[in-house]
Amino acid sequence: MDDIVFGGMNGGGQIALVTGASSGTGADLALALAVDGYHVALLGRRAEALKEVAERVKQLGSAACTLVCDLQDEEAVAASMKTFLKWSGDRIDLLVNVAGIPGPVGVPVGELAVTDFDAVMATNLRGPFLTMSHLLPVMCKLGRGRVINIGGNHGMRGRAGRSSYSASKWALRGLTRSAALEVGRYGVTVNYIAPGPIAVDRMRAGWEKRAEDEGVDVQTSIDRYITEMGAVLRRPSETADVVEMVRFLAGDGGRNITGQELVVDGGVIV
Ligand SMILES: NC(=O)c1ccc[n+]([C@@H]2O[C@H](COP(=O)([O-])OP(=O)(O)OC[C@H]3O[C@@H](n4cnc5c(N)ncnc54)[C@H](OP(=O)(O)O)[C@@H]3O)[C@@H](O)[C@H]2O)c1
């Protein structure tokens, strides 16, 4: 087990677990939660990347715990949840399931490999199911807790060539709503955020490549992509746009909101 504890948990402070915290939205969210005073557990497969985020969480004055775990591996998730609960003293205030993979792009259903389909479902749907199955009972026992699942606006619509991704994010809505109905009586909320394109390193790399291929500058490449997506606000999301929605749902503003899908996509799904 590669898990490491960074810094002491100084009595107070709420506790959050963020999956997919080694890069992109999850990493930025973990840091924002530390700014807000949360102690943060960071889950992902890349130990070094998690460690870097954990060091920054610690610099912000919060404790961090890294959980090196492949969400596709049921036993690994069980072991990580055990480690997490030991670290947190059986407490959790916020679970944000951010980890996800895009899967094949531009591949029609008839040509989609079963292994690719399974990998997307195992990460984007079964992963959140596994963390929720371990942590919702803990929240119910505590009589409070917030779960936020990061889906995608492709889970609000069909998308040619991206069926596994769309199906996984669409199914995550069903999981979210059903769980919300189950745990509401215990004071636990479960919600879903549907981002559109987020300007993370992975997406920027794609926009840069397209700019090169089409002989245009990167901003033109971004503008073209966003126009094709149909975002009326004509800009991609920043990780901060998703982070602020998490803050809202996790804070006082979200206390009477459950089973909902909040779309943060610049106006694609309207
Ligand atoms: N970026 C976008 O344009 C966009 C748009 C809509 C929705 N979303 C959704 O927003 C979420 C974050 O996306 P992002 O673009 O910010 O992420 P990203 O930079 O691509 O990072 C994905 C994260 O998921 C983790 N992850 C992937 N497979 C995993 C597995 N099997 N086990 C554990 N962790 C795993 C990765 O960690 P390791 O590599 O360390 O395992 C990484 O931390 C995803 O759910 C994505 O579907 C993104």
Please check whether residues 88 and 219 belong to one and the same domain.
no
Please check whether residues 81 and 138 belong to one and the same domain.
yes
Within a domain: 270: no
What's the Cα-to-Cα distance from 255 to each of 69, 147, 195, 258, 260, rounded to whole Å?
30, 12, 21, 8, 12
Q: Which of 31, 70, 73, 98 to mutate to test the pocket of ligand 1 (most atoms within 8 A of CB)?
A: 98
What CA–CA distance (Å, rounded) separates 249 from 257?
A: 8
Q: Take atom 25 of ligand 1 and give the residue whose Cα is closest.
A: 20
Q: How far is the CA of 101 from the centre of ligand 1 (A)?
A: 5
Return the closest-CA partner of residue 200 out of 240, 171, 228: 240
Please check whether residues 213 and 125 belong to one and the same domain.
no
Within a domain: 63: yes
Q: How far is the CA of 158 from the centre of ligand 1 (A)?
A: 20
Please check whether residues 118 and 245 belong to one and the same domain.
yes
Within a domain: 47: yes
**CATH code of the domain containing 32:** 3.40.50.720
Q: Take atom 11 of ligand 1 and give the residue whose Cα is closest.
A: 98
Q: Take atom 26 of ligand 1 and give the residue whose Cα is closest.
A: 99
Please check whether residues 48 and 89 belong to one and the same domain.
yes
Within a domain: 36: yes
Whether the CB-CB separation of 261 and 149 falls below 8 Å is answered with no
Please check whether residues 173 and 39 belong to one and the same domain.
yes
Please check whether residues 114 and 222 belong to one and the same domain.
no
Query: So what's the pLDDT on residue 8?
Result: 59
Query: So what's the pLDDT on residue 12?
Result: 67
Domain span holding position 218 = 199-235
Using a 6 Å cutoff on CB, does residue 203 contact ligand 1?
Answer: yes
Within a domain: 118: yes
Whether the CB-CB separation of 41 and 17 falls below 8 Å is answered with yes
Please check whether residues 126 and 98 belong to one and the same domain.
yes
What CA–CA distance (Å, rounded) separates 63 from 257?
A: 28
Using a 6 Å cutoff on CB, does residue 168 contact ligand 1?
Answer: no
Q: Which of 19, 23, 121 to mutate to test the pocket of ligand 1 (most atoms within 8 A of CB)?
A: 23
Contacts of 193 (CB under 8 A, 6+ apart): 148, 149, 150, 151, 242, 245, 246, 249, 261, 262, 264
Catalytic residue flag (residue 165): yes
Please check whether residues 169 and 230 belong to one and the same domain.
no
Using a 6 Å cutoff on CB, does residue 46 contact ligand 1?
Answer: yes
Within a domain: 166: yes
Please check whether residues 122 and 203 belong to one and the same domain.
no
Please check whether residues 105 and 213 belong to one and the same domain.
no
Task: Determine how β-strand 15-19 pairs with β-strand 39-44.
Answer: parallel
Within a domain: 269: no
Consecutive 10-residue averages of pLDDT for the chain (270 residues): 58 89 98 97 98 98 97 98 97 98 97 98 98 98 98 97 98 99 98 97 95 96 95 96 98 97 97
Contacts of 200 (CB under 8 A, 6+ apart): 23, 24, 25, 239
DSSP bridge partners of 188: 145
Using a 6 Å cutoff on CB, does residue 66 contact ligand 1?
Answer: no
Query: So what's the pLDDT on residue 1?
Result: 43
Within a domain: 170: yes
Q: How many structural domains does the chain have?
A: 2
Please check whether residues 212 and 246 belong to one and the same domain.
no
Residue 194, H or E segment: strand 188-195
Using a 6 Å cutoff on CB, does residue 70 contact ligand 1?
Answer: yes
Using a 6 Å cutoff on CB, does residue 103 contact ligand 1?
Answer: no
